[in-house]
């Protein structure tokens, strides 16, 4: 089947570590014995586990993607699965997914603040740090590569604090380009699904109006009204951050 669809020789044959012997070794032996070069690289991934056990249908300890993404943002689930090295086991737990969601939110926080200052930026692979590229070239070292994202976010946040717009833009382009390699750019249209996109500008308008009312209350020193608006938004799942450029909201 592989030869039929991929040809006599192809780049990568993947599969779970439990398939290496005897399945893949037999597959390789049969292909070579029949004169086919077959796969150039074999990549065997470790398991996603639950309570130390491999997730499987037979153990009834699996988790449907639809159920997981109903509780956590789909980008955070991708982040959670993509950052560990593919040969490392990933322990499925609510704590792990909560931590992944928070980590991605910190990256998004820099992207949002930087975009407010310098505007949206595109992808420029020429800005990828050499260490980031080397990590991917060395057996898809995703965990090492993500460390470069964190480092560039740190540099970018320092530039924001210093008011250095040029340095902020440089960091933003690099971060967005690295996120693009991971398939994690928040502005990628693939993450726009899961709801009616027409609701976004409506939601933005309604919340912006409430934030204007809150700001007006703060100006007239009606802090009770200001706090009540913020508390109501928090109850609805809207986080409000006060910045030098005005309040910023996020879900």
The pLDDT score that the predictor gives to residue 163 is 95
Instruction: Decide if pLDDT at 51 tops 90.
Output: no
Query: How much is the average pLDDT of 101-113?
Result: 95
% residues pLDDT > 70 (the chain)? 97
Of 231 and 244, the one with more pLDDT: 231
CATH classification for the domain delimited by 56-192, as one of 3.30.460.80, 3.40.50.300, 2.60.40.180, 1.10.730.10: 1.10.730.10
The pLDDT score that the predictor gives to residue 103 is 96
Of 121 and 239, the one with more pLDDT: 121
Confidence of residue 195 (pLDDT cuts 50, 70, 90): low
Of 135 and 3, the one with more pLDDT: 135
For the chain, domain boundaries: 2-45, 56-192, 199-250
Are residues 202 and 194 in contact, defined by beta-carbon separation less than 8 angstroms? Answer: no
Instruction: Decide if pLDDT at 145 tops 90.
Output: yes
Instruction: Decide if pLDDT at 196 tops 70.
Output: no
- Residues contacting 188, CB < 8 A, separation 6+: 180
Lowest mean pLDDT among 49-63, 67-81, 96-110, 134-148: 49-63
The pLDDT score that the predictor gives to residue 54 is 85
Are residues 103 and 59 in contact, defined by beta-carbon separation less than 8 angstroms? Answer: no
Instruction: Decide if pLDDT at 197 tops 70.
Output: no
């Amino acid at each position: 089947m592989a030869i039929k669809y991929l040809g006599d020789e192809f780049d990568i044959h993947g599969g779970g570590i439990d398939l290496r012997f005897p399945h893949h070794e037999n597959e390789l032996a049969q292909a070579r014995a029949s004169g086919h070069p077959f796969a150039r690289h074999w990549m065997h991934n470790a398991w996603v586990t639950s309570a130390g056990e491999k997730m499987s249908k037979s153990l009834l300890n699996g988790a449907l993607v639809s159920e997981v993404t109903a509780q956590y943002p789909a980008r955070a689930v991708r982040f959670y699965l993509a950052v560990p090295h593919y040969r490392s086991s990933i322990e499925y737990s609510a704590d792990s997914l909560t931590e992944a969601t928070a980590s991605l939110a910190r990256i998004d926080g820099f992207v949002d603040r930087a975009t407010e200052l310098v505007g949206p930026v595109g992808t420029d692979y020429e800005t990828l740090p050499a260490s980031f590229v080397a990590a991917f070239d060395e057996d898809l070292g995703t965990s090492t590569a993500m460390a470069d994202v964190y480092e560039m976010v740190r540099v970018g946040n320092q530039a924001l604090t210093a008011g250095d717009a040029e340095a902020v833009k440089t960091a933003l382009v690099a971060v967005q380009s690295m996120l693009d390699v991971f398939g994690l750019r928040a502005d990628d249209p693939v993450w726009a699904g899961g709801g009616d996109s027409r609701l976004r500008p409506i939601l933005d308008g309604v919340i912006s109006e409430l934030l204007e009312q809150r700001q007006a209350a703060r100006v007239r020193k009606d802090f009770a009204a200001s706090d009540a608006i913020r508390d109501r938004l928090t109850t609805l799942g809207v986080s409000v951050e006060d910045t030098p450029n005005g309040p910023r909201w996020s879900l």
